[in-house]
Chain A
Amino acid sequence: MIKLEKLSKVFETPGGGSVIAADQVSMEVPEGEICVLLGPSGCGKTTTLKMINGLIQKTSGKIWVAGCDTDEQDPVQLRRSIGYVIQQIGLFPNMTIEDNICVVPDLLGWDKTKSRRRAGELLELVNLDPGIFLKRYPKELSGGQQQRVGVIRALAADPPVLLMDEPFGAIDPINRAVIQDEFLKMQTELRKTIAFVSHDIDEAIKMADKIAIFKDGVLEQYDSPDDLLARPANDFIASFLGQDRTLKRLSLLQVQDVMFGDQVRVMARDDLEKARGLMREVGHKNIVMVGPRGRARGYLHLNDILDSTGKVEEHYQGLPATVNIRDDLRSAVSKMFRHDTTWLVCVDDEGFFKGSITQRAISHALGATYRDSDVATGAAAEAL
C-alpha cells in the first residue's frame, strides 16, 4: 500500500522565487493495484513519484509505504525495500545481466547462490533464456530486452511496492505493447502495489486500476479508467483525455459485457417457416444458423426469405466476420466498420455461438455510464 497525505514540494528558483511542483497531494494506492500518475510534462507526477522513495525531498506532508511512515526510515534502506524502474533503464554497463539483477539482493547482503538462482528464475519470467543472458553485458541486449531486465532488477529483492517512471516510454510501439502485456500477466500473479508514471493516456488506460491526473502540481482527479473517461471532473481533464475519450472506453469493455445473449438459432435442416416464426417471435431481422454442436455457421435475413420456402441450408449466407466474446469493443467496432455491418455474431474460443452485438448496443453501453442507467442490453435487440 502507498499512501500520500497532503504531500507538497516547493522548489526554490535561483531568482529567489519558488515553484510548487506538488501541491497538497493526497491519495492512496491499495495493495496489489497499479496506479498510473498521468499528466502533461511539468505537472508534478514524476516529482510525486520520486518523493515516495526519497529521491526528491518532500517539503511537507506524509508518506506511508507498506504501512510504514517513510520519515521514520533511513532513505537508503527505504529505497532497497522499494522496486524502482526508470525510462532510461539504467542497467550498469560494467556488470553482467546477472549482477545487474542482483544489485539490491547484494546490497541487502543476501546469500549469493540464492540470489543468482533467483536471477535465472526472473529472466525466465520475462521470456529471456538464463543460459544465454545471465553472463552477458547490457550492451549486448536490445532495448526491449534491457527494459525487461530493468523490470526484473526491481523485482529481485521481492519488494511489495514498485515505482515505475515511464518504464516503457523509450521502447518502440510494438515491443511496448508486448512488454506491457507481459508485465500485466506478471502482475496478476505478483500483486505488487505499483505507482506508475506515464504521459500516455492509452498506456494508462491499459495498465491502471486507477489513474491519478495531475496538472500544475495538483491532483485533479483520482478514479478508475472507466469512471475517468466517463466522468472527467473538469474541462482540463476532458481535454487532456481527448475528444475521443468515449472511444477510448471501447478498449476497457469486453464484447461479453455488451452482447445480447441471444440464444435464438436455427439449424441447417430447419424449415424457413420455423426461422421466420422465431424471428417474428423475438422481433429480430436476422437469425443465426448453427452447426450440429452449436458453432456459428451462417445467418438468414428476414427480408430475403419472406416469400421463400424450403430448408435453412438452401438459403443461408456466410458470416462476414465473428467476434470473440473476450475481445474488447474496440476490435468489435473495427470489424463492424471493415465489413460494413451493424451487427456481429459473438463466439467463444472454440467458435460456439454465444450471442450478438450491435452498434446500437455499443453506443448505448458507452453512453450508459453517463446516464447511469443500465438499459444498454434492452436496446440491443432492436437492430437485429
Chain B
Amino acid sequence: METLVFIGQNLDVIAERTVQHVSIVGVAIGLAILTGVPIGILITLNARAASIVLYVAAIIITIPSIALFGLMIPILSLIGQGVGYLPAVIAVLLYSQLPIIRNTYTAISNVDPALREAARGLGMTPSQRLRRVEIPLAIPVVMAGVRIAVVMNIGITAIAAYIGAGGLGVFIARGISQSDPRQLITGALFVSLLAIVSDYFLMWLQRRLTPASSSSRAAGPSELG
C-alpha cells in the first residue's frame, strides 16, 4: 500500500527514469543490431572465423556486469567518460553481441542449400541472394536473438545505476542503500514491466517482419495432387 502511494506520488520520476532506461537499452541494441547482424552474416563465409567470434562473444557474456562496469571506469576515464551513460551503452552493446551474432549466423547458415542453389542457378549475385532470399528468411531467427538481448539487457541496465547511468535501477540502488522497500519494489516492478512490455512488442514486430509463408497464414496443401 505504501508502495502504491509512493508510485502515485512519483509518477513523473518513474517516467523520467523509464525513458533513461529505454534510451540506454534502445540505443545500445540498435548499435548491436548494426554491428552484430553484419558480423553474423560475414562469419558464415568462414567456419574458423565463426568459431572464434562466437567464442569471444560467449566469453564477454560471462563477465559479471558489475565487473565489466568496473573495468571500463579506468579505460573510459581517459576520455572523461568513466561513469554515466556511455559505459552503460557499451556494456549493453557487448552483452547483446552473442545472441544477435549467434542467431544471425545460425539463421543464415541454416538457409536450405537447395534455395541457395536455386538462387545461384537462376542468376542472382551473392548480394542479391542475401537481400532477396537469405536475409528475409533469417529475420524471424534474428529477431528472436534481439528479443533475448533486449530482455536480458533491461536487467543489466538496472545495475548500471551504480555507475551513474540513471534509469530505473536508481530506485533499486537507493532502496537498498536507504533500506527503503518502497523504492526497491517500485524499481523491481517497473524493470520487470518494461521487460515484459518490450518482449511483447518485439514479438509483435517479429510476426510483422516474418514472411507470410512461415507464419500462421500458411495453410496445408490446399489440394492434393
Contacts and interface: CB of A to CB of B under 8 A. Distances in A.
A90 B218 contact: no
B169 to A, nearest CB: 40
A220 to B, nearest CB: 27
Contacts of B23: none
B132 interface: yes
Interface stretch (A2-10, A61-69, A80-88, A340-348): A80-88
B125 to A, nearest CB: 6
A93 B214 contact: yes
A94 interface: yes
Contacts, number: 95
Q: How large is the interface on A (under 10, 10 to 19, 20 to 34, 35 or more residues)?
A: 35 or more
Q: How large is the interface on B (under 10, 10 to 19, 20 to 34, 35 or more residues)?
A: 20 to 34
B211 A86 contact: no
B225 A140 contact: no
B211 A140 contact: no
B137 A94 contact: yes
Nearest to B210: A94
Interface in B188-220: 211-214, 217-220
Contacts of B217: 137
Contact of B225 (A55, A142, A153): A142
Interface string A126-169: 00000000001111111111000000011000000001000000
A41 interface: no
Contact of B122 (A77, A80, A136, A138): A80
B121 A139 contact: no
A370 interface: no
Interface string A77-119: 1111100101011111111000000011001000000000000
A89 B122 CA distance: 12
Interface of B: 112, 114-115, 117-125, 128, 132-133, 136-137, 211-214, 217-225
Interface of A: 53, 55, 76-81, 84, 86, 88-95, 103-104, 107, 136-145, 153-154, 163, 175
